[in-house]
């Protein structure tokens, strides 16, 4: 995956679900069985931010974390911290628990 690519598919969303308010770039990332690397994740639209907040509320574990399967699409952009690839999502949909890992 390279910066500038457009990606679409299923992945496991990992995120902190506790207070304070959501900060997608503060630790949210995507994984997938087909790709062992962590891929940074950020919102690209207000709809994605709303979907992300709903997922955080619905799927939070007792420890304040989320690990669930989502369908995501978006452009691969450079991460602000280290320049590595991250998905700037333009679509995000909850699929289900992480036991159904892609």
Query: How do the domains of the chain map onto residue ranges?
Result: 6-100
Residue 67, helix vs strand vs coil: strand
Task: Please report which confidence band the pLDDT of residue 19 belongs to, taking 50, 70 and 90 as the band edges.
Answer: low
Q: What is the pLDDT of residues 26-85, one digit of tens each?
A: 678 898 877 777 888 888 899 998 998 888 887 767 677 888 899 999 999 998 778 888
Angle at alpha carbon of residue 98, lines to 44 and 4, rounded to 5°: 30
What is the model's pTM? 0.82
State the pairing for strand pair 6-16/29-32: antiparallel
| Of 100 and 7, the one with more pLDDT | 7
Helix boundaries (H) for the chain: 46-59
pLDDT at 40: 86
């Amino acid at each position: 995956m390279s910066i500038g690519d457009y990606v679409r598919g299923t992945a496991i969303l990992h995120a902190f679900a506790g207070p304070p308010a959501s900060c997608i770039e503060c630790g949210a990332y995507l994984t997938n069985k087909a790709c062992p690397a962590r891929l940074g994740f950020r919102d690209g639209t207000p709809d994605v931010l709303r979907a992300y907040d709903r997922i955080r509320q619905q799927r939070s574990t007792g420890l304040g974390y989320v690990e669930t399967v989502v369908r995501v699409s978006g452009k691969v952009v450079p991460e602000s911290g280290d320049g590595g690839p991250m998905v700037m999502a333009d679509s995000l949909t909850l699929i289900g628990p992480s036991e159904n890992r892609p």
